Amino acid sequence: MIEEFVKRGVLKFGDFQLSSGLRSPFYVDLRGVLGMPDLFGFVVEKYLGVVSKLSFDVMLGVATGGIPYASVLGYLLKRPIGYVRPEAKGHGTGRQVEGADVSGRRVLIVDDVLTTGRSVVGAVNAVRAAGGVVVGVVVFLDREQCGSQHVKSVTGVEVHSVYKMRELLQAVRPYIDEELYKSVVDYLSQWRC
């Protein structure tokens, strides 16, 4: 199924600006997978392979990319679910952590793609402020741009990934131009964590 990431445009090549502000020669659009039930199922199964080895009480998605995956995984594993907003809302209850109560509970945070780790660090801090104990973070793709190291150094929390970008790139190598492959490898080599 991984070759379908290239064929269906989930893994795109070009010049992209990321939410972190960084520019990148590739983009992984896991939100697009939501409209492809077979690929969505593949991604969920891959997440399950990692998540099922971890011990936790509550699963929270990072808004917005982690929410659909945390929701399905929590449902399948019969765990309470919720999500973490980038910031507390200014109306209603004013909460940043929505859904399941996390106070005193072991929380697993789910996101789709990890770049710098900034949004994950924010989610960890929000869960802790709500009384939860963050036992780990799971992402589908670690772009290998020092995000997991940043999360670990700032919060002490381990990041588990389904794929690291170099692994994903190696898996799709037969389906992309060799020069394109080398340009992405060169781009990734600039990140020394």
Give the class (CATH, top level) of 2-189: alpha beta
pLDDT in tens, 91-146: 777 789 999 999 999 999 999 999 999 999 999 999 999 999 999 999 999 999 99
Per domain, the residue ranges of the chain are: 2-189
Tokens of 106: 């072991």
Over 90: is that where the pLDDT of 192 sits?
A: no
Q: Record the pTM.
A: 0.94
Beta partners for residue 27, in sequence order: 12
Band (pLDDT 50/70/90 cuts) for residue 42 is very high
Tens digit of each residue's pLDDT (9 = 90 or more) over 140-179 = 999 999 999 999 999 999 999 999 999 999 999 999 999 9
pLDDT exceeds 80 at position 35: yes
